[in-house]
């Protein structure tokens, strides 16, 4: 497929009967494993990529390293790739447009673009008007390049430090509507767990909604019944892999046995075959 065709396929997956489930990858090998499991698209995780490269999350990893990983993931798989680029690694709209050009050059056909200002976790958000302008600028550059980059507009209204639930809910609805009007294809609301609120969001926006899979979130079949069109696993799979590595280390230090890394491990020959192209 051409890049434009992959972008169209990714967009279509956001309007399918069942939710698009994204078990986020952090490198080429994890992307190949996810693709081999039968998932129709690959999403990167900014935190997973940053941690794998030796940096904390929050746009601390150099952009060249982040986009390099996006490119390696896109090259490793045949399915569409959507990239988590946090707030865009850009100080202004002109730099954001260059970021988008580089994302497309890397082979991705979708992005997460969040409205949290880079810096402290759970800190303030971009002013609404500024974030709308940023989304509009992304859509304009993609229209010029004739690739419908799928914009997953993330709002961190629920993740702001000190935000009251009702305040977060009102801000979420307002921002989501504005982002869709600006050209976003889907609204991503990390922190939204309540089935009632999820259904309200779906009905209010009448557009694809992305839910982050974390403890307390309804299982995928229930999310499907609520009308959710996209479910992301975020950095969870990468952190789960690190949890397994911790257990391997602990077993090596205590019993000296090998169960933790031999039970369920992908065989060497299978990994070789997965990575052969």
Residue 187 CA to residue 209 CA, distance in Å, equals 5
- pLDDT for residue 199: 98
- pLDDT for residue 126: 96
Token reading at 144: 């010029």
Report which secondary-structure segment, H or E, holds 236: helix 236-253
User: Coil, strand or helix: which one is 210?
Assistant: strand
- pLDDT for residue 120: 67
Q: Is the pLDDT of residue 60 over 90?
A: yes
The domain limits of the chain are 3-235
- pLDDT for residue 122: 79
User: Coil, strand or helix: which one is 188?
Assistant: strand
Question: Average pLDDT, stretch 70-93?
Answer: 97
CATH 3.30.1130.10 fits 3-235, yes or no: no
CA distances from 239 to 148, 190, 245 (A): 32, 17, 10
Residue 209 CA to residue 157 CA, distance in Å, equals 15
| pLDDT tens per residue, range 199-217 | 999 999 999 999 999 999 9
Q: Is the pLDDT of residue 277 over 80?
A: no
| Per-residue burial over 39-49, b = 16 or more CB atoms within 10 Å of its CB, e = otherwise | bebbbbbbbbb
Q: Is the pLDDT of residue 121 over 80?
A: no
Average pLDDT, the chain: 96
pTM of the predicted model as reported, rounded to 2 decimal places: 0.96
């Amino acid at each position: 497929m051409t890049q434009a065709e992959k972008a169209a396929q990714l967009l279509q997956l956001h309007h399918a009967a069942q939710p698009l489930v994204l078990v986020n990858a952090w490198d080429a090998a994890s992307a190949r494993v996810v693709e081999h499991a039968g998932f129709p698209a690959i999403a990167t995780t900014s935190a997973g990529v940053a941690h794998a490269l030796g940096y904390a999350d929050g746009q601390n990893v150099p952009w060249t390293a982040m986009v390099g990983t996006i490119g390696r993931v896109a090259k490793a798989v045949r399915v569409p790739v959507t990239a988590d680029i946090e707030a865009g690694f850009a100080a202004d709209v002109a730099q954001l447009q260059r970021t988008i050009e580089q994302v497309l050059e890397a082979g991705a056909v979708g992005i997460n673009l969040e409205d949290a200002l880079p810096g402290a976790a759970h800190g303030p958000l971009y002013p609404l008007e500024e974030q709308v302008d940023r989304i509009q600028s992304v859509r304009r550059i993609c229209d010029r390049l004739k690739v419908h980059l799928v914009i997953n507009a993330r709002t961190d209204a629920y993740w702001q430090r000190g935000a009251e639930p009702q305040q977060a809910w009102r801000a979420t609805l307002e921002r989501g509507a504005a982002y869709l009007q600006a050209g976003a294809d889907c609204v991503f609301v990390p922190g939204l767990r309540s089935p009632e609120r999820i259904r309200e969001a779906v009905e209010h926006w009448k557009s694809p909604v992305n839910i982050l899979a974390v403890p307390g979130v309804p299982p995928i079949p229930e999310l499907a019944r609520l009308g959710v069109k996209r479910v992301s696993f975020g950095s969870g799979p990468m952190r789960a892999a690190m949890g397994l590595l911790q257990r391997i280390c602990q077993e090596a230090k205590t019993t000296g046995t090998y169960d933790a890394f031999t039970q369920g491990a992908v065989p060497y020959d299978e990994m070789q075959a997965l990575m052969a192209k």
